[in-house]
Amino acid sequence: TERTLSIIKPDATRRNLTGKINAKFEEAGLRIIAQKRIQLTKAQAGEFYAVHKERPFYDELCEFMASAPVVVQVLEGEGAIAKNREVMGATNPADAAPGTIRAEFAESVGENSVHGSDAPETAAEEISFYFSGLEIVG
Ligand code: GTP
Ligand code: MG
């Protein structure tokens, strides 16, 4: 089975949506095998999102990710990376399919409630950015 890194973003933790979002993952057959609530600094957010550092929204994205606590989690399941992205919906909530997390909860293209890894290599890197092996219990 596959693993992916998920983040419940500040717009969602602020609105107390952690449980509703986790229910969507579990209904889709994804198991939450590690989870913690943390407060990122802007510098840590910048390191995590370093691939986006040339994008015009990078500074805004880092400010946002450090604006309130996030819940970082490891999701496990058959095809977990693709399944998670399906449950999240399109980056821009205006384009997200009905029933997806972003369609139901996201506020804008930037404040879009969740992050999910996009490939096996990035999933492995992103999981080890936040979790030690001991914290992941599959
Ligand atoms: P992630 O799962 O968060 O990586 O989302 P994604 O893969 O659907 O989107 P992408 O990797 O292209 O962008 C990463 C994140 O940057 C998005 O989830 C948004 O939070 C933010 N972002 C993307 N485009 C914009 C934009 O045009 N404006 C702003 N403010 N933020 C953006
Ligand atoms: Mg992405």
CB under 6 Å to ligand 1: residues? 52, 57, 60-61, 91, 109-110, 112, 115-116, 118
Q: How confident is the model at residue 57 (pLDDT cuts 50, 70, 90)?
A: very high
Non-local (6+) Cβ contacts of 6 within 8 A are 25, 72, 73, 74, 75, 84, 114, 115, 116, 117
pLDDT mean over 99-127: 98
Cα 101 to Cα 86: distance, rounded to the nearest angstrom: 9
Percent of the chain topping pLDDT 70: 100
Query: What is the ipTM, given to two decimal places?
Result: 0.93
Residue 42 pLDDT: 98
Residue 41 pLDDT: 98
Residue of the nearest CA to atom 23 in ligand 1? 110
pLDDT mean over 87-116: 98
Q: How confident is the model at residue 43 (pLDDT cuts 50, 70, 90)?
A: very high
